[in-house]
Amino acid sequence: MTIIIAIDGPAAAGKGTLARRLAAELGFDYLDTGLIYRAVGMTITRDGGDPADAALAEAAALALEPTALNAPDLRGDTAAQAASKVAAIPGVRAALLEFQRRFASHPPGGRGAVLDGRDIGTVVCPAADTKLFVTASAEKRAERRLKELQEKGEKAIYGTVLADMQERDERDRNRSVAPLVPASDAVVLDTSDLDADQAFAAALDIVRPRR
Measured CA to CA, the distance from residue 94 to residue 202 in angstroms comes to 33
Reduced to 3 states (helix: H, G, I; strand: E, B; else coil), residue 125 is: coil
- Within 177-206, which residues bind ligand DC (CB under 6 A)? none
Measured CA to CA, the distance from residue 71 to residue 105 in angstroms comes to 26
Reduced to 3 states (helix: H, G, I; strand: E, B; else coil), residue 136 is: coil
- Within 43-62, which residues bind ligand DC (CB under 6 A)? none
| Residue choice 113, 117, 136, 191 for contact with ligand DC (CB under 6 A) | 117
What's the closest the beta carbon of residue 180 comes to ligand DC, in angstroms? 7
Task: Establish if 33 lies at the interface with ligand DC (CB under 6 A).
Answer: yes
Task: Establish if 172 lies at the interface with ligand DC (CB under 6 A).
Answer: yes
| Residue choice 11, 23, 59, 114 for contact with ligand DC (CB under 6 A) | 11
The answer to whether 91 touches 49, Cβ cutoff 8 Å, is: no
Task: Establish if 29 lies at the interface with ligand DC (CB under 6 A).
Answer: no
Shortest CA distance to 206 belongs to which of 137, 154, 151, 134?
Answer: 134
| Residues of this chain that bind ligand DC (CB under 6 A) | 11, 33-34, 37-38, 80, 83-84, 87, 117-119, 168, 172
